[in-house]
Chains A and B, each alone.
Chain A
Amino acid sequence: MEYEPVIGLEVHAQMLTRSKIFCACSTAFGGDPNTHACPVCTGQPGSLPVLNQKVVEYTIRAALATHGAIAPYSLFARKNYFYPDLPKGYQISQYELPLSSAGFVDIQVDEDKKRIGIIRIHMEEDAGKLMHDLSTERGAHSYVDFNRTGVPLIEIVSAPEMHTPEEAAAYLRKLRSILMFLDICDGNMEEGSFRCDANISLRPKGQKTLGVKTELKNMNSFRNVQRALDYEIRRQTALLDQGERILQETRLWDAARGVTSSMRGKEEAHDYRYFPDPDLVPIVVDPEWIAAIKAGLPELPDTKKERFIREYGIPEYDAEVLTSSKPLANYYEACLQVYAKPKIVSNWIMSELLRELKRDEREIEEGPVPAQNLAEMLKLIDEGLISGKIAKSVFEEMYRTGKKAEEVVKEKGWVQVTDTSAIEKSIEEILAKNPKEVEEYKKGKEKLFGFFVGQVMKATQGKANPQLVNELLKKNLMVS
């Protein structure tokens, strides 16, 4: 039978505030264990949480950027469960009245555009980190690092409106890009500042009611989300085809083995016993504050894309790629400041620069070619100092060394030869050396023209201006 997958995603994004959500401890990543910890975030008896206003502001930013409604009154709730990385025995989260609901993001897969609903966005605190040492002489020990407890997170819950792994990946990319455009999340999936769990079920094509879902965890890249969903679709399809039932359960993705395996079933699911946290007062957001936050929102990917198409006349595909991340869009516009030919810049970024970055798995901010340098190199082509062909080598060298185009050109002696007499001298020599070919050319074998160009370019080590070579060759061949 043919099945339709139904996918919903829960994203946890770490907010880029300097201090934690309920205390003044630093959120900096990578400190020595338990150096960013205080009575509040280690759950000392008698300690109390106080809400970091910045977290509310960032959440409102995320909500407005995804067209969500801001609740005039919302509550924190306690999610109760026991685990050593959870010092209070409960996580402060939001449950019945989240800060935002009913948003959406627009995605595009190939030519298809789609709108994916966001059910809710809420604030919560992160848990700590466990470290297991199996090697000590006294026997195995486990340690808890509370540096991460209380780091602010937002949870963004999508509607179950995606039907392919590609759509899920597109949604995640879009969401991540929006959060990064807003400067509220660094989007780092490996360090866990942007994490995703997926709910997936299958139903016979055409059926309205949802099938039994599984929840997938432990996917730390877009690729793994896609792989895990692909696997799960195959697994569930096979089960259904054999007439078996899908169990409602939580499954862990194993990236090394490329499979999901059951972590806990429905019976073992926690009863979190949510209730409003009596230590925190209701969040009542002033509409004027929302308006101020809205007014301060930066240009977001969709708007920027439309503007790039409109203002720079580049194709939609180019605009989509260039606005997929804020640093990339900024890079593009910085180039245009110096060199105002949008399509040429776009071509160079999309083909040369992004290829190099992708190969080295580097981000554009880490790239060794600043926008200014790329733009100046493009100017050198227009000025005739280097050829478009040589420019590719110049660019590679700039990328490798971090040097400016002019330096590279000078060091390597790649300046284009535009001196007519030098080129003519070279042509004369070539024609003298190859009388047979000259004869044949004159008899009508015009294909040989390319041979002569090649020889001249070779003799000038590729630096001769190709246009000049063409002109002068034609002239010389006619004469001789």
Chain B
Amino acid sequence: MEFCQMTAHRLGELLRRKEITSKEITRSVFDRIEKVEDRIHSYITLLPDLALKQAAEADARIQKGEAEPLTGIPVAIKDLICTQGIRTTCGSHILDNFVPTYDATVTVRLKKAGAVFVGKTNMDEFAMGSSTENSHFGPTRNPWDLERIPGGSSGGSAAAVAAGECILSLGSDTGGSIRQPAACCGIVGLKPTYGRVSRYGLVAFASSLDQIGPFAKDVEDAALMLNAISGYEPRDSTSVNLPVPDYTKFLINDIRGMVLGVPREAFGEGIDPEVEATVREAIRTLEKLGAKMVDVSLPHSEYAVAVYYIIAPAEASSNLARYDGVKYGFRARGAYDLLEMYKETRSQGFGSEVKRRIMLGTYALSAGYYDAYYRKASQVRTLIGRDFEKAFAQCDALILPTAPTPAFKLGEKVDDPLQMYLSDIYTIPCNLAGLPGLSLPCGFAKSGLPIGLQVLGNHFQEEKILRVADAYERNTDHHLRKPNL
């Protein structure tokens, strides 16, 4: 197997045993990119020079015996995580010339860990979308079927891992933007608890929902990445000061006695029969492995999509106000006054989905509508959280599909925002409640497209969902299948 197809934990062993070098891994990754990137388009910016320099530094560090688990491992970073001196576009025209003056906290942590930066990955503009079609830089394609979307918004990060264009990557998840693309691309994706990973330097879409998390080829790799990026950081007031365990310690291939809840609402209207059958089969597998399955109910989750499409756009309408052409990024030329500069800059700089959400959010916060929309949505959000509280009083984790269908075709839903929004029907409630969630491959449709299994945990109980996912993974082989490129 080529290095680029291997896991970080396996490569880490080989590096520490000095059987291979980070330079070799990095070259393998860039060779792979050379071969497949023009078909997949995972990246907005590639960093071959920086990567080779970092690889050399990592090799020196490994030689000195100072390696950490991610030292020398090529990683890709979603292009809304700030990287000092490296263009960070958010997939938008309005930031296509934006070079941050500072590193995001996760960037700093990855640098300290000795990771090698392959590049910045493609995404739906400002993380708004479920298909990566809303990128100013063109869509990313699904490595399993180039006619299909890789999911979104972190489609570039997911496709890069699935296609061997990096070993690990970072995405962000506001309503499913890590888990849904992980499902579409047949890999592992984890959204940590809100507050587990610092958001400092993550360009905000919806601040109360956004969270950075890893994409990986298996559960152990996801745990390694989570170890590296988690932890309290005073520059993010919403990051939580709780100790970070070594998550790999919980990967014990044993879920006997764990209680897993299956929400009654998990197989609702609109679910693809193949997805339902595959997920039900996965539930039987978990039961065979010794978990106790219980029925739970999340009665308010039917309102989750509606609530999300008030709260997220409301926050976004405010978060995106700073892109006004004054300080950085794109500025429309030729405006005759301030108001026209604002209007032209924002009309030309933002894509249509972003503009749609800014308008939705502006409306929801407007005088006379606030109570009916934003306030009401916040109240229902609280109820959704309480549903989960009740459910987790009865079980250790919840099992449900990640997405209602496998990856759909490019262009299929791009003109039908409501259908597009429903792609996230199973992932959104977790964000509204601030819970950790993970998606891992649990089978394939007849078409050969991967299907994702979603495991949700209670706040700051990532170790439980990792334990469940790891046990499932060790007793199945879906994660071993690779797309044929």
Tell me whether A46 and B100 are in contact in the complex, defined as CB-CB below 8 angstroms, given that A51-B237, A273-B362 are known contacts: yes
A144: B residues at CB distance < 8 A: 326-327
Tell me whether A46 and B324 are in contact in the complex, defined as CB-CB below 8 angstroms, given that A39-B101, A275-B370 are known contacts: no
| Nearest B-chain residue to A40, judged by Cβ | B235
A93: B residues at CB distance < 8 A: none
Whole-angstrom distance from the CB of B326 to the nearest CB of chain A?
A: 5
Whole-angstrom distance from the CB of B427 to the nearest CB of chain A?
A: 19
Contact, CB under 8 Å: B88 / A273: no
Q: Which of B82, B238, B324, B338: most chain A CB closer than 10 A?
A: B324
Does B95 sit at the interface, judged by CB under 8 A? yes
How far is B374's CA from A84's CA once the two chains are assembled, in angstroms? Answer: 27
Tell me whether A88 and B235 are in contact in the complex, defined as CB-CB below 8 angstroms, given that A46-B203, A278-B315 are known contacts: no
Contact, CB under 8 Å: A48 / B236: yes
Tell me whether A44 and B318 are in contact in the complex, defined as CB-CB below 8 angstroms, given that A84-B338, A275-B374 are known contacts: no
How far is B308's CA from A260's CA once the two chains are assembled, in angstroms? Answer: 46
B352: A residues at CB distance < 8 A: none
Instruction: Choose from A42, A50, A271, A275 the contact partner of B235 (Cβ within 8 Å).
Output: A50
Contact, CB under 8 Å: B324 / A82: yes
Does A315 sit at the interface, judged by CB under 8 A? no
A401: B residues at CB distance < 8 A: none
Does B200 sit at the interface, judged by CB under 8 A? yes
Contact, CB under 8 Å: A279 / B238: yes
Does A280 sit at the interface, judged by CB under 8 A? yes
B328: A residues at CB distance < 8 A: 44-45
Instruction: Choose from B80, B98, B235 the contact partner of A48 (Cβ within 8 Å).
Output: B235
Contact, CB under 8 Å: A45 / B88: yes
| Nearest A-chain residue to B126, judged by Cβ | A45
Q: How large is the interface on B (under 10, 10 to 19, 20 to 34, 35 or more residues)?
A: 35 or more
| Nearest A-chain residue to B378, judged by Cβ | A276
Instruction: Choose from A44, A87, A88 the contact partner of B100 (Cβ within 8 Å).
Output: A44
Contact, CB under 8 Å: B370 / A89: no
A39: B residues at CB distance < 8 A: 101-102
B235: A residues at CB distance < 8 A: 48, 50
Does A281 sit at the interface, judged by CB under 8 A? yes
Q: Which of A46, A82, A280: most chain B CB closer than 10 A?
A: A46
Contact, CB under 8 Å: A275 / B88: no
A78: B residues at CB distance < 8 A: 318
Contact, CB under 8 Å: A45 / B322: yes
Contact, CB under 8 Å: A89 / B324: yes
Tell me whether A273 and B366 are in contact in the complex, defined as CB-CB below 8 angstroms, given that A45-B82, A51-B237, A89-B322 are known contacts: yes
Write the A325-365 contact mask toward B (1 if CB under 8 angstroms, else 0): 00000000000000000000000000000000000000000
| Nearest A-chain residue to B361, judged by Cβ | A273
Q: Which of B80, B98, B235, B342: most chain A CB closer than 10 A?
A: B235
Q: How large is the interface on A (under 10, 10 to 19, 20 to 34, 35 or more residues)?
A: 20 to 34
Does B204 sit at the interface, judged by CB under 8 A? yes
Write the A265-284 contact mask toward B (1 if CB under 8 angstroms, else 0): 00000010111001111000
B203: A residues at CB distance < 8 A: 45-46
Q: Which of A50, A80, A278: most chain B CB closer than 10 A?
A: A278
Whole-angstrom distance from the CB of B103 to the nearest CB of chain A?
A: 10
How far is B168's CA from A136's CA once the two chains are assembled, in angstroms? Answer: 52
Does B208 sit at the interface, judged by CB under 8 A? yes
Whole-angstrom distance from the CB of B26 to the nearest CB of chain A?
A: 27
How far is B318's CA from A278's CA once the two chains are assembled, in angstroms? Answer: 11
List which B324-360 residues lie within 8 A (CB) of chain A. 324, 326-328, 338, 342
Does A368 sit at the interface, judged by CB under 8 A? no
Does A222 sit at the interface, judged by CB under 8 A? no
| Nearest A-chain residue to B204, judged by Cβ | A46
Contact, CB under 8 Å: B82 / A46: yes
Contact, CB under 8 Å: B200 / A47: yes
List which B218-266 residues lie within 8 A (CB) of chain A. 234-238
Does B321 sit at the interface, judged by CB under 8 A? yes
A84: B residues at CB distance < 8 A: 324, 326, 338
Tell me whether A275 and B202 are in contact in the complex, defined as CB-CB below 8 angstroms, given that A46-B82, A89-B318, A144-B326 are known contacts: no
Whole-angstrom distance from the CB of A284 to the nearest CB of chain B?
A: 13
Does A43 sit at the interface, judged by CB under 8 A? yes
Whole-angstrom distance from the CB of A364 to the nearest CB of chain B?
A: 42
Contact, CB under 8 Å: A44 / B102: yes
A281: B residues at CB distance < 8 A: 237-238
Contact, CB under 8 Å: A43 / B327: yes
A279: B residues at CB distance < 8 A: 204, 207, 237-238
Contact, CB under 8 Å: A82 / B321: yes
Does A3 sit at the interface, judged by CB under 8 A? no
How far is B322's CA from A90's CA once the two chains are assembled, in angstroms? Answer: 8
Contact, CB under 8 Å: B324 / A48: no
Instruction: Choose from A48, A80, A273, A280 the contact partner of B200 (Cβ within 8 Å).
Output: A48
Does A49 sit at the interface, judged by CB under 8 A? yes
Instruction: Choose from B90, B208, B327 the contact partner of A42 (Cβ within 8 Å).
Output: B327
Contact, CB under 8 Å: A50 / B237: yes
| Nearest A-chain residue to B234, judged by Cβ | A50
Contact, CB under 8 Å: A275 / B90: no
Write the B451-479 contact mask toward A (1 if CB under 8 angstroms, else 0): 00000000000000000000000000000
How far is B236's CA from A127's CA once the two chains are assembled, in angstroms? Answer: 22
How far is B321's CA from A206's CA once the two chains are assembled, in angstroms? Answer: 47
Contact, CB under 8 Å: B342 / A82: yes
Whole-angstrom distance from the CB of A293 to the nearest CB of chain B?
A: 22
| Nearest B-chain residue to A90, judged by Cβ | B318
Whole-angstrom distance from the CB of A251 to the nearest CB of chain B?
A: 22
Instruction: Choose from A44, A45, A80, A89 the contact partner of B90 (Cβ within 8 Å).
Output: A45
List which B124-156 residues lie within 8 A (CB) of chain A. none
Does B104 sit at the interface, judged by CB under 8 A? yes
Does B159 sit at the interface, judged by CB under 8 A? no
Write the A130-162 contact mask toward B (1 if CB under 8 angstroms, else 0): 000000000000001000000000000000000
B238: A residues at CB distance < 8 A: 278-279, 281
List which A23-56 residues lie within 8 A (CB) of chain B. 39, 42-51
Q: Which of A42, A87, A273, A279: most chain B CB closer than 10 A?
A: A273
Q: Which of B202, B208, B321: most chain A CB closer than 10 A?
A: B321
How far is B322's CA from A48's CA once the two chains are assembled, in angstroms? Answer: 13
How far is B431's CA from A278's CA once the two chains are assembled, in angstroms? Answer: 14
List which A74-89 residues lie within 8 A (CB) of chain B. 78, 80, 82, 84, 87-89
Chain A contact residues, CB within 8 Å of chain B = 39, 42-51, 78, 80, 82, 84, 87-90, 144, 271, 273-275, 278-281
Q: Please name 17 further chain A to chain B contacts, defined as beta carbons within 8 Å, in addition to the given A82-B342, A278-B207, sorted by A numbering.
A: A39-B101, A43-B322, A44-B328, A45-B98, A46-B199, A46-B204, A48-B237, A50-B235, A82-B324, A87-B327, A88-B322, A144-B327, A271-B366, A275-B318, A275-B365, A278-B315, A280-B237
**Nearest 7 pairs of A and B residues by beta carbon:** A89-B321, A278-B208, A273-B365, A278-B207, A45-B203, A46-B201, A46-B82
Q: Would you give 7 A-B contacts (Cβ < 8 Å), ordered by A?
A: A39-B101, A43-B327, A46-B80, A80-B321, A82-B321, A87-B322, A280-B237
